Structure 1
Amino acid sequence: MPEAFWLLLACLLSLAGMAWLALAMAVHWEQVMLQPAARAAGVRLLLRGAGACALALAAAACLLADRPSMALLVWLMLLAASALTVALTLAWRPALLRGLCALRG
């Protein structure tokens, strides 16, 4: 049971981290938030840091769930899957990512 908890947490952190890193980019910020990216430069900088921290915490959660060699493999697969999920969300329904950013700038 504890392994499932850590893996689920790693999935959620990886997805949130990739979404925050995408929202930190000016093009995606304007696409999702429908406002100029220049007005939210500080918020986008915070999102970049939050995204990096979330991905690092996802790696730590993977390490708590399994041995290091398997944890690295699972973490890399989670990175790929969450990047694909965020990319497809940005392509089809970018407004779904709006809820991940409470700070609007």
Structure 2
Amino acid sequence: MSESSAWLLSAALLNLVGMGWLAMAMPCHAMQVWPGERDEGTGQRLLRPLGALALLAGLGACLQADRPSMAALAWVMLLSADALVVALVLSSRPRLLAGIWPWGR
């Protein structure tokens, strides 16, 4: 695996985790992932800033993989693909997302 491929793979994983964390920060999706827990815990309050940081880290990984103009394009494409994956997981098996934030709400 070349170095740029490794950076793009890490960007895809960072964006996937970031999108998942941002989705779980919303109360309606949090109830899908953690059924039965109604109150917003301290762990859930951390999800929004950590999700944003993960997306920025994904952008940084894309910038390491290629020049800025191509990196921005790759990052936006990875964002849309990862958002689709998170949406599909939320619609079919939302409990799978609990694996990327094991501390619960």
TM-score by length of 1: 0.94
> 3-state SS of the aligned residue for 1:38?
coil
| Corresponding residue of 1:62 | 62
Give percent identity, aligned residues only: 49
In structure 2, distance between residues paired with 1:35 and 1:49: 24
TM-superposed CA distance for 1:90, in Å, is 0.3
Moved more, 30-39 or 64-73: 30-39
Query: Is residue 7–residue 62 contact of structure 1 (8 Å, CA) maintained in 2?
Result: yes
- CA offsets per residue over residues 6-52 of structure 1, 9 Å max, x none? 00000000000000000000000011111334242x21220111100
Q: Is residue 38 of structure 1 aligned with residue 39 of structure 2?
A: yes
- Answer whether contact 1:6 1:65 (CA < 8 A) is retained: yes
| Superposition TM-score, scaled by structure 2 size | 0.94
Structure 1 gap ranges (5+):
none
Larger helix percent: 1
**Aligned residue-pair number:** 104
Name the CA shift for 1:69/1:29 in 2 (closer, same or farther; >3 Å). Answer: same
> Which deviations, in whole Å up to 9, do the C-alpha atoms of 1:53-92 show, x marking residues without a partner?
0000000000000000000000000110000110010001
Instruction: Name stretches of at least 5 consecutive residues in structure 2 with no aligned partner.
Output: none
Distance 2:40 2:54 in 1: 24
Corresponding residue SS for 1:97:
helix
